[in-house]
Amino acid sequence: MPPEELRLVLALQAKLKARSKVEVVRRGLRLLRDVTEREALREAYRRASRATRASLGRELEEIDHLAAEGLSEW
């Protein structure tokens, strides 16, 4: 491991109170996996939202006349 990376691992080991350098690396890998999965999920929600926006406007226009149905006039 290059000296700069080793210093980083040792600093994180102390900060995290990790028992070993391997634990630091494992925790880093799990964190990277979690962040990556969350970003993929966010992107899927963005795509789904964009896909439904156009149709939502049309659907709201179609049912707009029902908004006051059954309400008496003042």
> Under a CB-based contact definition with an 8 Å cutoff, are residues 20 and 13 in contact?
yes
| Angle subtended at Cα 69 by Cα 64 and Cα 57, rounded to the nearest 5 degrees | 10
What is the Cα–Cα distance from 49 to 40, expressed in whole angstroms?
A: 14
DSSP for the chain, please give it: --HHHHHHHHHHHHHHT-SSHHHHHHHHHHHHHHHHHHHHHHHHHHHHHHHHHHHHHHHHHHHGGGTTTTPPP-
Instruction: Give the per-residue pLDDT at 66.
Output: 78
Encode pLDDT of 13-59 as tens digits: 999 999 999 999 999 999 999 999 999 999 999 999 988 887 888 88
Look at residue 62 and tell me whether its pLDDT is greater than 90: no
